[in-house]
Structure formats: C-alpha cells, structure tokens
Amino acid sequence: MMMNLFSSFDPSTSFNLSLNWMSTFLGLLLVPSMFWLIPSRWNYLWIKINLTLYKEFKILNNIKGSTLMFISLFSLIMFNNFLGLFPYIFTSSSHLIMTLGLALPLWISFMFYGWINNMTHMFAHLVPQGTPPILMPFMVCIETISNMIRPGTLAVRLMANMMAGHLLMTLLGNTGPMLSMMMINLLIIAQIMLMILETAVSIIQAYVFTVLSTLYSSEVN
C-alpha cells in the first residue's frame, strides 16, 4: 500500500529481495572491456592482423560492408585449421562438405548480385578484351566453365592442402614402432618440421581462400 506519493520510488520488490539497486550497475555491462582491461600482446596482434586485412580487402573489393564478412571468413577458416593441429580434434576444414559449404554460398551470392545489378558487366567478362571475333564463341564457353568451377577449386584447394599434411604426419607417425632409436629421433625432427609447415599452411590457406573470394566478388561489381 502506497503511504505517500514518493513511496513508489522505494527500492523494494514483490519477492522480498531488493534488486532495484542493481539497475545502477546495468550500464557497466554496456561499457566495452577495452575501457577496463589493458589489451595483451595477443589482442594487439589480432587487432594488427584485422587492420592489415581490412586495408587489403578494401582495396580489392568495393562492395560496402563486405570487408567485415571476409575478415570473419578468414578468422573462421584459420581457427578451424589451427584446431586440427591438436591431437584428437576433428579437422573440419579437411572435409569437402565444410569447404564447399563455405565456397558455394559465396559464389552463388556473387553471381546473383552480378547478374541482377551489373548484367552488361558480367557479359563483358565472358569475352576478354582484344579477342578475335572468330574465337569469341570458344572464349565464352571457356570463361563460363572457368567461372562455374570456381567454388569447386576453392573448396578442393583448402581441403587438399589441409588433408595432405595431416595424412603425411599420420603415415610417418605410424611407422614409429618399427624404427630404430636413431631413426625415431630423425622421425621426431621430421614431425616437428611438418608441424611448423602445417602451422604456416593453416594461415596461408585461410588467406588464399579469403583473397580469392574477395577477387571473385570484385569482378561482379
């Protein structure tokens, strides 16, 4: 029961627990963590990578808002590639269903965007400049086929590169029990070198996939 006009502002609730004062601190949830925490070296490294990718993708592509999408795509692929380097963790990027699931929707969306908004530009891409008239029908067929196999080449390139290194490391590792002590030492050194190579491949393949996707999107704009 309200005793006076101002009692409606009292900090009380219906379940005998005063939580109204908690609203004072709800605004802190909206403050970015960068305001409170000093960024670590990993944060600075990740920010530097994102800024470098942003500058490069912005030059390659003119579609507004797509740069963030390609940076997110790079992060997703690189994260999955790195996870596959740890023991007993499934490497999703070494399977065609995952890589094709990334490449095919991108290619389809680029094709829809290009043919709906820039149909003349898309037709001009089918015949390279300076092509003799007698070769134009063949060039149209060749360019059409090369355009249609782009999602397949993107998917297979990523899948094959990720699978090849893992397969080689597995085959070498299975020969360990049958080797002598000296050969095992050489095998360990070879496995360490392969692990370093696979770490580089994880970054490079994510970068190649993203840059090629960016170049394909720039052709439809």
**pLDDT for the residue numbered 43:** 82
At which residue do the structure tokens 């065609």 appear? 96
- Please indicate, yes or no, whether residues 26 and 97 belong to a single structural domain of this protein: no
Q: Which helix (H) or strand (E) holds 76?
A: helix 66-83
- Please indicate, yes or no, whether residues 157 and 203 belong to a single structural domain of this protein: yes
- Please indicate, yes or no, whether residues 42 and 137 belong to a single structural domain of this protein: no
- Please indicate, yes or no, whether residues 31 and 71 belong to a single structural domain of this protein: no
Token pair of 50 as six digits: 């994102």
Token pair of 164 as six digits: 């090849």
Helix axes 66-83 and 41-60, enclosed angle (nearest 10):
130
Spell out the per-residue pLDDT of the chain, length 221, in tens. Answer: 555 665 555 555 555 555 666 666 777 777 777 777 777 788 888 888 888 888 888 887 766 677 888 888 998 999 888 888 888 888 888 888 889 999 999 888 888 888 888 777 777 777 777 777 787 778 888 888 888 888 899 999 999 998 888 888 888 888 877 878 888 888 889 889 999 999 999 999 999 999 998 888 887 77
**pLDDT for the residue numbered 24:** 67
Residue 113 included in any domain: yes
- Please indicate, yes or no, whether residues 18 and 109 belong to a single structural domain of this protein: no
Residue 1 included in any domain: no
Full residue range of the structural domain in which residue 211 is found: 61-218
**pLDDT for the residue numbered 63:** 67
Residue 56 included in any domain: no
How far is Cα 119 from Cα 29, in angstroms, rounded to an integer?
48
Say if residues 57 and 125 touch (Cβ distance below 8 Å). Answer: no
Residue 75 included in any domain: yes
- Please indicate, yes or no, whether residues 104 and 178 belong to a single structural domain of this protein: yes
Residue 176 included in any domain: yes
- Please indicate, yes or no, whether residues 167 and 149 belong to a single structural domain of this protein: yes
Whole-model pTM: value is 0.74
Q: How many Å separate Cα 118 from the centre of its chain?
A: 27
Number of structural domains, the chain?
A: 2
- Please indicate, yes or no, whether residues 200 and 95 belong to a single structural domain of this protein: yes
- Please indicate, yes or no, whether residues 40 and 17 belong to a single structural domain of this protein: yes
- Please indicate, yes or no, whether residues 87 and 176 belong to a single structural domain of this protein: yes
Residue 4 included in any domain: no
- Please indicate, yes or no, whether residues 101 and 15 belong to a single structural domain of this protein: no
Residue 5 included in any domain: no
